[in-house]
A and B are shown apart, each in its own frame.
Chain A
Amino acid sequence: QKEVEQNSGPLSVPEGAIASLNCTYSDRGSQSFFWYRQYSGKSPELIMSIYSNGDKEDGRFTAQLNKASQYVSLLIRDSQPSDSATYLCAVTRFVDDYKLSFGAGTTVTVRA
């Protein structure tokens, strides 16, 4: 079983719609959860971080964490063509020197 699993996609949404990305993780000791965006040929960029159960909103992005279900999600509201990228879910534990365990990524395409 992979440590972090994401819907591989690709996920195609029309401009203005909500893109919903899901991620599950296997290690109950995971403590910090992150969503990174990576454009083709570029390095990852931090979009959201979440540590406590519930929702966290930042602009058009909302991250949701449910530790009991070992589930973290990212919602992108009012999707724009510039949101087209690969979204990486990542989790860390302090005992692992805070190494990131990445999901395989979900490729999102926003259709104009």
Chain B
Amino acid sequence: GAVVSQHPSRVICKSGTSVKIECRSLDFQATTMFWYRQFPKKSLMLMATSNEGSKATYEQGVEKDKFLINHASLTLSTLTVTSAHPEDSSFYICSARALQAHQPQHFGDGTRLSIL
């Protein structure tokens, strides 16, 4: 149980392109979803927290207009990297957790984004 599906797993695109990444909880209702970014050999960096039906809460230093997050249902959240540039190249990972106390975050497989 507790499967989180993230799609696509890899994206290579030209500078200026907008890229949408989907995160789905397959077998539970995810009241909260999280988006992370990770650089090679570094820790995960939380970008934003998303509660279903609410605006996302962004961490300090993360541009909300650059990284658009939508959490329209209890099983789907999307991250759109708008007008992506080479510096946006990174490993993006989503996670989801159910409402109940003590529930862990379950992570998707990640999306490796490369902007040329």
Contacts and interface: CB of A to CB of B under 8 A. Distances in A.
B107 A44 contact: yes
A61 interface: no
Contact of A43 (B43, B57, B109): B109
B101 to A, nearest CB: 6
Contacts, number: 50
Q: Tell me if B's interface is mostly helix, strand, loop or mixed.
A: strand
A32 B105 CA distance: 11
Contacts of B93: 43-44
Given A97-B57, A99-B34, A99-B46, A43 B101 contact: no
B96 to A, nearest CB: 11
A34 interface: yes
| Centre residue among B32, B104, B106, B109 by max chain A CB count within 10 A | B104
A46 B32 contact: no
A82 to B, nearest CB: 18
Interface string A28-54: 000110101000011111100101000
Contacts of A34: 104-105
Interface in B1-53: 2, 6, 32, 34, 43-44, 46, 49, 51
B104 A32 contact: yes
Given A49-B102, A105-B43, A98 B97 contact: yes
A102 interface: yes
B51 A42 contact: no
Interface centre among A31, A51, A97, A98 (most CB of B within 10 A): A98
13 contacts: A31-B102, A34-B104, A43-B108, A45-B107, A46-B2, A51-B102, A88-B44, A97-B32, A97-B51, A98-B97, A99-B34, A100-B34, A105-B43
Interface of B: 2, 6, 32, 34, 43-44, 46, 49, 51, 57, 91, 93, 95, 97, 101-110
